[in-house]
Structure formats: C-alpha cells, structure tokens
Amino acid sequence: MTELDRDTRILRFLEHVHPYDSLKREVLTRIASVFIERTVHPGVMIYTAGDLLEGLYLIEHGTVEITDEKGAPVSILHGRNSFGERGLTRDGLAVTHAKATEETRLLMLPADEFHDILQSSKSFARFFDRTRSPGREQRGDLTTQRVADLMARNPISISPETSIQMAAGMMRDTHVSCLAVTHPEHVLAGIVTLRDMTTKAVAGGLGGETPVSQIMTSEPVSLAPSALGSDLLHVMLERKIGHVPVTEGNRLVGVLTQTDLIRFQAISSASMVQEIAEAYTAEEMAKVTVRLPKLLMQLVGAGNRHEVVTRLITDIADSVTRRLLALAEGELGAPPVPYLWLACGSQGRQEQTGVSDQDNCMILDDAVTEADMPYFCALAKFVCDGLDTCGYFYCPGDMMATAERWCQPLKVWKRYFAGWIDKPDPEAQMLASVMFDLRPIGGTHALFDNLQDETLAAARKNTIFVGHMIVNSLKHTPPLGLFRGFATVRSGEHKNELDMKMNGVVPVVDLGRVYALQGGITEVNTRARLEAAEALGTISHSGAHDLLDAYDLIAETRLKRQADEIRAGRKPDNYMPPSDLSDLERSHLRDAFVVVRTMQSAVGQGKGMLS
C-alpha cells in the first residue's frame, strides 16, 4: 500500500470517528498523515501503568482490555474507541494497563499533535474533558455504574414451597439461570440456580416434589440499587458466585447475573456501529437499534454530559443511514450521477434522544436527468423504509427524501433557499429553520459546501429575513407560570406536565440557530453554535455562559427523565410532571427557564446579548 493510499484510508476512517469528525477538513487531512500504525497480537501489552505514553491510541479494529494498576478490569474497548488520554492530560504517564485481547490494529496520534488539537478545537477538548475533570473519569466503565442501571427488573420469583420440578420447568421455559425465592410482599428468602439443580437436586437424588427451600441458598448476599458495579464485581469474585439479588431493605427489586455484565459490556455505541456496518438487511440492523434505549439509560446513568449522550445516540442513526445507502447501491447499482444524503432536525444537529423520527433529504448533481430520477426515488424509499424498520419512524410532516420536493438537483435547492430568504412567509420560516440544520451523512459532500456558504452569506445580508427568523424563534417559550410556578400542559394525555422538548430545549435550539445566522456560523449543533457565537462576540461572555448552563440543565433533566422511564420499563417521551423533581431541582430548572426567556427578550429587542 502506498503512503497516499494509507493516508486516504486513515482519513476516511477518522471522518466517521468522534471527535475527529468535528475537526476542520484541513486539520483532519494533516493529522491523517502523522498517525502511527501498529498491529498488536492477542495477549500483548500495549502499555502498563507508569509507562511514558507516546500518544493517544485509537482502535481501528480489534479489542483492547483496560485494567487498573492492580489488574482489576476497567473496560473492554473495540473499534473507534480512544484510550490513553488520561495519562496524556496529566503528566504523560499511563495510569492503567492496556492489552490486546485479539489481533488489533491501532492508530496512534503523537502526544504533541494531541495537545495542539486540544488547544485549537473546543469540541475536541470538550470530548476529552471528562478525563481531565476530577470525579469524571472512566464514566462509561462497568465499575462506576450504579447497580440500578445494570440489574434485570421484575425478576421471576417463586415461594419456598414450590417444587423442584416446577422450578426447573419455569427456568427452562423462561430461559433464566436462577429464580428468586420470596415470602409474601417480595421479602427475599433465598435464591436457586441451575447449579443448585444439578449439584444438589439431581446429584443428591431428591424427588421432583421436594420444595426448593431444600436446595436454595438461604439469606444470600445482596446489594442495594445504589451500589456500584465495582461492589458487584468484588462480591462475585470474592464469593465465586454468578447471581446476586438486589434488595431495598429486605424486599427483592432485581437480580444481577454474569450475563448482565457481559450484556453491559456489549452495549456501547462503538460495538453497535460495528454490528450495523456488518449487517446486510434493515431487519438485522433493527436488532441492534432496539438496544438504543438501554444505551441511553446506560450513558445517562454513567453521568455523561447531554451533548455526549445525544452525539453517541445520533452516531447510531448516522451509521444506519450510511449502511442503508451502501445496501441500496448494492441492490440498485452505482448512482447515475453524484448525490448527497443529508439529515435535518435533531439528527442534523446531532441531538437525538430516545424519541426520534426521521428528517432527511437528497441533493442531486445538476447533471441528473428525468431518466435518472427513478433510481433516486428507489434509493430514497429503500433508505427511509429501512430507517422506519430500525425505529426511526416516518416524519409526520413528510420531511423525507421520498418526497419529490426534497429530492432535487442542487440548482433547485439553491432556488429554494433564495426564495425562502427573499420572501420569508410563515412556511418559508419553518422550512428555513429545518434546512439550516442540514448535515451531510453520505454521498458527495462537495454538493453541500457552496450551498451552505452561499445561503448563510445571503441570509445574513437580508435583515428582513433575519428579523422574521428572530420572530419565529420566539414562538416557543419556556414554561414559566405565575408566582414562581411552571406553566404545564393544560389538557390531554400530558395534562399538568412540562413539555421538556417544545418548551424546554427547542427555545434554546431556536436561539442557537438565530445566532448562527447572525454570525455566519456553519456549526449545526446547538451547543457548538452557542460557543461559536460567544467566540465571535455575537453573545457576551456572561450571557453565553448563563445560556450554556441553562441549556445544559434543561437538556440533562430531559435526558434523565427519559432514562428513568426506560429504567421503569416504559417508553420514553418528552414530558415530565414537576412533582417528580425535588424543591431544589424545581428551583434550578425554573432559574434556567428564566435565563432562556431573558435571552429571548434580548434577541427580540435586537440586543442579541445578555450583559
């Protein structure tokens, strides 16, 4: 392989790995050439604690086991995962051991390059900030997870009088390796496992009618839901057991098994992306995306920031889309002319949560002919149908590439944007709001570059259009009521609840879009827009910090609510009863809404900043 081929391969790989994909194209192209490649065989140490680290490692393919100084497991990393940053951001010395557990291909970014990028890229630095901030290290690893986020809820339980034969039949029919034995009111009496069935019942020659109380482990060691994964690992290793009940007081609330731990390690955005990349049908991908709620709950439970959680969730949607495009081309043949698939809405902004429909469109090369259109119609249908199969339901407003309006040549898209800017009627404002959040996903990215630059330049110059966009951004207001209360939904299924989307995050999203227009900012992510607006002086430093803090609190409260719903076995939504919050939480949330309303007032009055 030539050096050019090597650099191109690495560049294409980095384009789909966060946070490298947030870097400017020229930076990404440059660092692709400085990465050092290394192949590590199974069982070989990459480094040990105390070693001087030469750079930041990125797994191209393979598996790496990270353990602490005492050899205790910390995490299992797969393709697209980075490691070694904790040492680099401290004194340059490794604080863990790293060992390849299978044939692994590594890319290493030299330490000096890593530090240069940290200084020049806020998004890159923010991604690795979790390793520099006290108390925020290794947030995704098993040892720091709460037991409540790991355990299987609603465990199958039986009474002490249940016969061994009946218990064995239940284990066979429900495919479980243990049963909890309880007294009335779910009071834990013991636990019976498959091992008990073989070593005590069968080997002991006990009859099938013998009660399970004769073979169960009475008063087994248990953990509270607030215990950590490290507590669980220590109990299992020290006592050589594979099943641990979870209790509140003496009442059973869950059970943890070694299978749960394996499942936890398997649920990561990187492993899901890898599985999607290897899938050959939408149905196969759906078996991966069905784990998204669990991933969201896991990420939130680990204390990750909201922009990290939504970014990783969105990465899955991006991967599904790109894989569907590849499968479509495999079935339909090569496209007759270049095209670009783009996401808009929350996927475009990389802000997807546990509740997402699909919003997408296609830009076609101007060389496209009428004879070519059936190909792109079929391509759009293949991908949109596949996204729906994977849980990204069809857009109620038909904002999809399957609609003729949203699958057009570049010259038509230019007319669209020019028309919306010149005549900003209500529909134009709505469409512009959606389309200003466009982000390329797959295809020829060059089709979008000039369109975005030209549109932003034209929009900034048209003060009438900007004024209309400002008015449009004020339609969604924070849910503030009288006497320091909240304005909740007045009727329907969610009466007396807060809409944490339309009255929570959307007002900030709208503000971020206005600041992007005013400053000519190409970022589409809301938090990135606010940071860029501060850097440009579009918002004052104090105003930006207040708004960022407010946004973080609102977005994280919304995500925590969704995670709680998933944990309780319910489908997540965007609504939350204020009564679910403590007095302190309500006070902080209300203060955050006040900040957003103040910023809306400033923008509405043409001030644009909060001093």
Residues 300 and 354 grouped into a single domain: yes
Residue type (1 letter), 165: Q
Report pLDDT for 129.
Answer: 62
Q: What is the rounded average pLDDT for all residues in the chain?
A: 87
Domain of residue 520, CATH code: 1.20.120
3-state SS class at 576: strand
Within 10 Å of residue 59's Cβ, how many Cβ atoms? 22
pLDDT interval class at 611 (50, 70, 90): very low
Residues 18 and 119 grouped into a single domain: yes
Residues 240 and 308 grouped into a single domain: no
Residues 186 and 95 grouped into a single domain: no
Question: By percentage, how much of the chain surpasses pLDDT 90?
Answer: 46
Residues 215 and 243 grouped into a single domain: yes
- Domain hosting 494: range is 474-604
Residue 609, in any domain of the structure = no
CB proximity list for 485: less than 8 A, separation 6 or greater: none
pLDDT interval class at 608 (50, 70, 90): very low
Residues pairing with 47 in the sheet: 98
Instruction: Name the one residue in this structure whose structure tokens are 């050899």.
Output: 71
Residues 490 and 455 grouped into a single domain: no
Report pLDDT for 366.
Answer: 96
Residue 610, in any domain of the structure = no
Residues pairing with 75 in the sheet: 66
Question: By percentage, how much of the chain surpasses pLDDT 70?
Answer: 93
Residue type (1 letter), 448: F
Residue 39, in any domain of the structure = yes
Note whether 188 and 247 are within 8 A (CB).
yes
Report pLDDT for 288.
Answer: 92
3-state SS class at 39: strand
Give the pLDDT confidence of 438-468 residue by residue, as tens digits: 999 999 988 998 888 888 888 888 889 988 8
pLDDT interval class at 33 (50, 70, 90): very high
Give the pLDDT confidence of 336-376 residue by residue, as tens digits: 999 999 999 999 999 999 878 899 999 999 999 999 999 99
As a whole number, mean pLDDT of residues 267-293 equals 86
Closest C-alpha among 274, 257, 350 to residue 307: 350
CB proximity list for 436: less than 8 A, separation 6 or greater: 455, 513, 516, 517, 524
What's the rounded Cα separation, in Å, for the pair 311 and 290?
Answer: 18
Tokens of 241: 């057991």
Within 10 Å of residue 67's Cβ, how many Cβ atoms? 16
Residue 528 has pLDDT above 50, yes or no: yes
Report pLDDT for 134.
Answer: 34
Closest C-alpha among 486, 513, 516 to residue 498: 486
Give the pLDDT confidence of 377-435 residue by residue, as tens digits: 999 999 999 999 999 999 988 999 999 999 999 999 999 999 999 888 888 888 888 87
As a whole number, mean pLDDT of residues 30-39 equals 93
Q: Which of 446, 470, 494 is the last residue of a domain?
A: 470
Residues 133 and 156 grouped into a single domain: no
Does 355 or 493 have the greater pLDDT score?
Answer: 493
Q: Which of 429, 453, 470 is the last residue of a domain?
A: 470
Q: Are strands 104-110 and 55-61 parallel, antiparallel or unpaired?
A: antiparallel
Residue 123 has pLDDT above 80, yes or no: no
Q: Which of 239, 257, 275 is the last residue of a domain?
A: 257
- CA dist 592 to 67, 500, 599, Å? 40, 12, 11
Residues 420 and 443 grouped into a single domain: yes
Residue 36, in any domain of the structure = yes
- 316 burial via Cβ count (<10 Å: 0-12, 13-18, 19+): buried
Let me know the angle formed at the C-alpha of 85 by 32 and 102, rounded to the nearest 5 degrees.
Answer: 75
pLDDT interval class at 1 (50, 70, 90): low
Instruction: Name the one residue in this structure whose structure tokens are 């998933």.
Output: 566
Residue 527, in any domain of the structure = yes
| Tally of domains in the chain | 4
Residues 393 and 480 grouped into a single domain: no
Residues 575 and 493 grouped into a single domain: yes
Residue 609 has pLDDT above 80, yes or no: no
Residues 447 and 547 grouped into a single domain: no
Instruction: Name the one residue in this structure whose structure tokens are 């699958």.
Output: 407
Domain of residue 218, CATH code: 3.10.580.10
| Beta strand extents in 48-172 (DSSP E only) | 55-61, 64-67, 73-77, 82-83, 97-100, 104-110, 152-153, 157-158
Residue 611, in any domain of the structure = no
Does 404 or 1 have the greater pLDDT score?
Answer: 404
pLDDT interval class at 4 (50, 70, 90): low
- 540 burial via Cβ count (<10 Å: 0-12, 13-18, 19+): middle
Residues 215 and 356 grouped into a single domain: no
What's the rounded Cα separation, in Å, for the pair 261 and 282?
Answer: 28
Domain of residue 442, CATH code: 3.30.460.10
Residue 209, in any domain of the structure = yes
Residue 262, in any domain of the structure = no
Note whether 338 and 379 are within 8 A (CB).
no
Tell whether the torsion through CA atoms of 84, 89, 91 and 95 is positive or negative.
negative
Report pLDDT for 406.
Answer: 96
